Amino acid sequence: MIAPILLGIADRVSPSGIFSPAIGVDISGLRQVVLSPIFPFDLLNYHFVLAFPEGSAAQGRIRIGPYEASYTINAGRPHLDRFVVAGIPVRTGGRCGALIHEPGTLKVTLLGDTEIEIGRLEFLYQPADPLSDDVRRAIESNPTRWKVIAAQFSCPECKDGITPYVAIRRNPGIPDFKKSPRPTWYTELPDKFVCSCGKASVQLRFLRESMHYLLQALNPFLPDGSMATAGSSVSPTEVNQVLTTFAGVLDSAPLEEDVQTFIESNPMLLAPFAARNLFFKPPILTKFRADFGIVTSREELLLIEIERPSLRLFNKDGTQTAELTQALHQPECWDNAITENRAAVLSCIKNCPAEIATISYLVIAGRSEPCEPEVLRKFLRSRSARFQFMTYDHLMQNVRDAIRSTLT
């Protein structure tokens, strides 16, 4: 029997399931050494990528540690007549997950009359960095990000269990785990949990050190729902209350500083920008400070300048006012400084990634209602992708749209 060759573990393989030699395979995140801040590590999130030489069996089973996976390559014959690469997901047939409880080496074997080792995977523990303020703010601002995450472990025999959980802010009133066994804040976990009957145990020290990492993950869910559940602390009532209060603040003709303070206290008002990092008053060398800085999931840095809501945007003849011209000039000054000293500027912003792809700018000022609609539309169309503008009314509508799309 010609055995397949283990190429590694991958985050994503498309297509997956039943494979055809005629279809190409898209593989993302292939590696043989897996660095993870989270253990237990659930294999159900991943695919195992195998290379099948010509003459390999078109069907078979592999064992990955204590778990098994089957594969079928739709070749129309019992053996392959060409070289094939395929990604195989783990199937356990239940809700128990496929957990690697501790770091170590995982042997992968082909099952048959005899077991043949086809490769090994190395799982290494990499402690997560502490949750920085800029990341915490970004999670709070983004309604698509989870604010509370729990991992439930229980014994199928005695039903004894434990539910480690982590949240953006520790609050004894959240989350509500009435049906979950022994909810425990993650930093207070023991080294190991052993159930009452002694038949089930799980290593917990890695979660105690790094469970907060899951809050930064774009999708913390495990595919079968067995290990992690998650919940958002943003409710429609809370959203409406913040927007209503913000509208009242804008109508009161506040100073720029008052608007800055309100947005800092209610970062969901920056939800349209899907922040990965959110900075308050980020420095641009020693010369300037933006009001907000946002790093997006696309490795883009957006620097925001806010002005008074009462700032008049256009003259009666449709030309922009001197106040608006001055507001728009500020990001141009930032851009000149960044062009000359890009690396130094990025290093001045604490926790800002160095691998920023693009830097763009946004000015938020004034209100839409006093403006002639066509004048405002023409002005907005004239702005470039890097130098953007919106009124506070645009911001409010964008917040409504962004949050509505996540709550429906």
Last residue of a domain, one of 166, 196, 231: 231
Q: Indicate if 187 and 255 belong to the same structural domain.
A: no
Structure tokens at 57: 């069996």
Q: Indicate if 340 and 203 belong to the same structural domain.
A: no
116 near 109, Cβ under 8 Å? yes
State the burial class of residue 231 (Cβ atoms within 10 Å of its Cβ: 0-12, 13-18, 19+).
middle
Structure tokens at 356: 């920023």
Q: Under 8 Å CB-to-CB from 374, ≥6 apart: which residues?
A: none
Omega of the bond prior to 21 within 30 degrees of 0, cis? no
pLDDT recorded at residue 19: 58
Model-wide pTM > 0.85: no
Structure tokens at 74: 């739709």
398 near 138, Cβ under 8 Å? no
Structural domain of 371: 236-407
Q: Under 8 Å CB-to-CB from 309, ≥6 apart: which residues?
A: 250, 253, 254, 259, 365, 366, 367, 392
Last residue of a domain, one of 231, 259, 287: 231
Q: Indicate if 115 and 207 belong to the same structural domain.
A: no
Q: Indicate if 244 and 215 belong to the same structural domain.
A: no
User: Quick one: residue 279, left, alpha or beta (phi over 0 = left, psi -120 to 50 = alpha)?
Assistant: beta
Q: Indicate if 266 and 279 belong to the same structural domain.
A: yes
pLDDT recorded at residue 374: 94
Q: Considering its fold, how many domains does the chain have in total? A: 3
**27: β partners:** 13
Q: Indicate if 370 and 284 belong to the same structural domain.
A: yes
The ranges of the chain with pLDDT < 50 are: 93-96, 221-226
To 10 degrees, what angle do helices 236-251 and 256-265 make?
A: 170
Q: CA dihedral defined by 15, 19, 22, 27, rounded to 10 degrees?
A: 40
Task: Give dist(CA 126, CA 61) in Å, integer.
Answer: 31
Q: Indicate if 254 and 401 belong to the same structural domain.
A: yes
Residue with the two structure tokens 């004048």:
375
Q: Indicate if 277 and 389 belong to the same structural domain.
A: yes
Q: Does the residue 131 lie in any domain?
A: no
pLDDT recorded at residue 97: 59
Q: Indicate if 102 and 220 belong to the same structural domain.
A: no
Q: Indicate if 248 and 386 belong to the same structural domain.
A: yes
Task: Give dist(CA 127, CA 135) in Å, integer.
Answer: 17
Q: Residue 323: give its domain's CATH number.
A: 3.40.91
Q: Does the residue 273 lie in any domain?
A: yes
Structure tokens at 72: 């079928």
Task: Give dist(CA 386, CA 328) in Å, integer.
Answer: 12
Question: Using one digit for the tens of pLDDT, what is the confidence trace for 189-198?
Answer: 999 999 999 9
